[in-house]
Structure 1
Amino acid sequence: MKITAISNLELCGGKEALKEKISRLCEAGISEIILREKNLNESEYCALFCEVLQICNHFGVRLFLHNFLDLAFDLEHKFIWLPLGVLQNFRQNSTRNLSEFEKIVVSAHSTGEAKIALNLGANALCLSHIFPTNCKENLEPKGLDLIRNVREFWGGEIYALGGINSSNFRLALGMGADNIAIMSEAMTCENEIKFLEKFL
């Protein structure tokens, strides 16, 4: 199982604090990081990504570039994490080849979206949101059935996201998820080592 931390500048309190948080998560042994900053434009994101990539490379931690697919091509970065709409738009409007990427994780919120993502070239899926979460408190969670239903037709890698914690992550794994992704607790925990130890 990989534990993947999702970045959030607002939860960390700014770029310097975020870089320090990512450094501590890497040092503590996090498996992967997603730099997922929806409020930055592409040039702002690129500058931050290059700084965070240096940190992750220093610790040998995989960093996913989120959302900005053209930027991933330009930087020749091999690991991308995409909203389904970005992948759909790319397929309709670009002649570039996704085979340049080693790992293409695409977010899906239903079995239908999962099938579309796979047909468009995803080689891993992020299914969300599985459990209730403050980030989407007005939206009903998809539940463990989403993982089980996707697992019926997809044998590849599945990340579970949304309300995942040390009390419920084994339920997601038991239903067929391979990995878990966490944002809020990863960004706000005071002790990164103790945070990760809860998932052992």
Structure 2
Amino acid sequence: MYVSKLYVLTDDILTPRESIMAQTKEVLDAGVRTLQLRDKTHSNADLLPLVKAMVALCNVYDARLIINDRVSLALNANAHGVHIGLEDGSLEEVRALLPDALIGVSCYGDLERAKKAQEAGASYVAFGSFFPSPTKPHTKTVPLDIIGQAKATLSIPVCVIGGINASNIHLVKEADMISVVSAAYKPDSITQNIQNLAKGLL
């Protein structure tokens, strides 16, 4: 089963170094084809061998590995893309460094920022948090209707993130990409969790 909309992120606690490769393989085996490495702990030099291995594994599955924030790491590891927020440099600079990569841009609840990102060459834009998030508990939530507004306004894919799980994923299923963190790894096996999330997209 290919779960095309699901976009699974790693996490410093939920995907520790000793198990991240096995967890990544299970995510891929479950049908997910877009993953993001989000690591707030280790240096780029420390992460480089791991990221290269993850890129190689994703290539076997014809999947995409996107790196959160770390543009130079994405470049050096030949990752498939990078995801940037407000603090991560200009989109134009990132696009110049990674001309062929996927570049996602966090837009929070700001549709104008999303329009500017599209004009500047973003591959997709992400909105959220839509629900209280266990991995980012202090993030403000945004209204669900921004998904429809964004879809009507933009021509690039619209991604959603923040507190999405098997019980609420149906509320955001009109998005093109649906990011999950905790819900991919808990409460059951990764395989079972992905299947439960996919059911909400039917």
Q: TM-score if structure 1 supplies the norm length?
A: 0.84
Shift of 1:115: 2.6
Shift of 1:193: 2.2
Alignment of 1:1-200 (within 5 A): 1-12=4-15, 14-88=16-90, 91=92, 94=93, 97=96, 100-109=99-108, 110-174=110-174, 177-198=175-196, 199-200=198-199
Give, as a single letter, the amino acid of the residue that structure 2 aligns with 1:126. A
C-alpha spacing 1:97/1:136, structure 2 compared with 1 (3 Å): closer
Once residues 171 and 96 of structure 1 are traced to their aligned partners in structure 2, the CA distance between those partners, rounded to angstroms, is 32
Please give the root-mean-square deviation of Cα atoms over the aligned residues, in Å.
2.3
Once residues 188 and 48 of structure 1 are traced to their aligned partners in structure 2, the CA distance between those partners, rounded to angstroms, is 23
Shift of 1:104: 1.4
Give, as a single letter, the amino acid of the residue that structure 1 aligns with 2:34. E
Any conservation in 1 of the 2:130–2:162 contact (CA below 8 Å)?
Answer: yes
C-alpha spacing 1:24/1:126, structure 2 compared with 1 (3 Å): same
Query: Any gaps of 5 or more consecutive residues in structure 1?
Result: none
Give CA-to-partner distance per residue, 1:141-177, whole Å, 9 cap, x none: 1121222332332122011111112222222123xx1
Query: Any gaps of 5 or more consecutive residues in structure 2?
Result: none
Once residues 189 and 125 of structure 2 are traced to their aligned partners in structure 1, the CA distance between those partners, rounded to angstroms, is 29
Give, as a single letter, the amino acid of the residue that structure 1 aligns with 2:104. V
Give, as a single letter, the amino acid of the residue that structure 1 aligns with 2:43. N
Once residues 88 and 144 of structure 2 are traced to their aligned partners in structure 1, the CA distance between those partners, rounded to angstroms, is 25
Q: Which runs of 4+ in 1 moved over 6 A?
A: none
Higher relative contact order (CA 8 A, sep 6+): 1
C-alpha spacing 1:120/1:154, structure 2 compared with 1 (3 Å): same
Any conservation in 2 of the 1:64–1:80 contact (CA below 8 Å)?
Answer: yes
Higher helix share: 1
Shift of 1:8: 0.8
Shift of 1:108: 1.2
* Matched residue SS, 1:196: helix
Once residues 113 and 58 of structure 1 are traced to their aligned partners in structure 2, the CA distance between those partners, rounded to angstroms, is 35
Once residues 58 and 85 of structure 1 are traced to their aligned partners in structure 2, the CA distance between those partners, rounded to angstroms, is 33
Number of aligned residue pairs? 194
Give, as a single letter, the amino acid of the residue that structure 2 aligns with 1:4. Y
Q: TM-score if structure 2 supplies the norm length?
A: 0.83
